[in-house]
Amino acid sequence: MRARNRSWLMAIVAAAGLIASLFAYFQRGGGISHTGGAALVIVSTAIMLVATLVLALAQGAPGWLRGLLLAGCLIDDLGTGLAAYFLHAWLLVALMVVGLAGWLIAMLAGRGGAAAREAHS
């Protein structure tokens, strides 16, 4: 499996997180419906979705861009998970934990891919 394909887990988690945060924002009677914190989580998960899609789809992206996007995804995932914790959005907290696992897989895949390319050249 190529390294770029391993970024799909983060993209799926980001999409599910966006759906969960939209649901929490628009849910009637919920404690966080139509709040600024819930809106911020919507924005952060949308940014994470875009970044992870770039990681998954950009085959020839330079290493610095991949590193920048992975660092941004880590900060976004941790911040979104913390905000979800404060908002008591437990599904989103669980998704961000899975997102961290996906981030770790993408990081390790990138390193293994580079080492394998150097060994074969």
Q: Which residue range forms the structural domain that includes residue 42?
A: 3-116
pLDDT at 83: 93
Q: Which pLDDT belongs to residue 1?
A: 42
In sign, the C-alpha dihedral spanning 36, 43, 9, 62 is: negative
pLDDT digit string (tens) for 19-58? Answer: 999 999 999 887 888 999 999 999 999 999 999 999 999 8
* 59-101 pLDDT tens trace: 788 989 999 999 999 999 999 999 999 989 999 999 999 999 9
**DSSP string for 52-88:** HHHHHH-TT--HHHHHHHHHHHHHHHHHHHHHHHHTT
In a domain, 121, yes or no: no
Q: What is the pLDDT of residue 30?
A: 78
Query: For helices 63-86 and 8-26, what crossing angle results, to 10°?
Result: 30
This prediction's pTM = 0.84
Q: Is residue 44 part of a domain?
A: yes
CA angle at residue 18 from 52 to 15, to 5 degrees? Answer: 45
The tokens for 17 are: 């997180």
Region 97-116: mean pLDDT is: 79
User: pLDDT at position 100, please?
Assistant: 96
Neighbours of 5 (CB within 10 A): 11
- Count of structural domains, the chain: 1
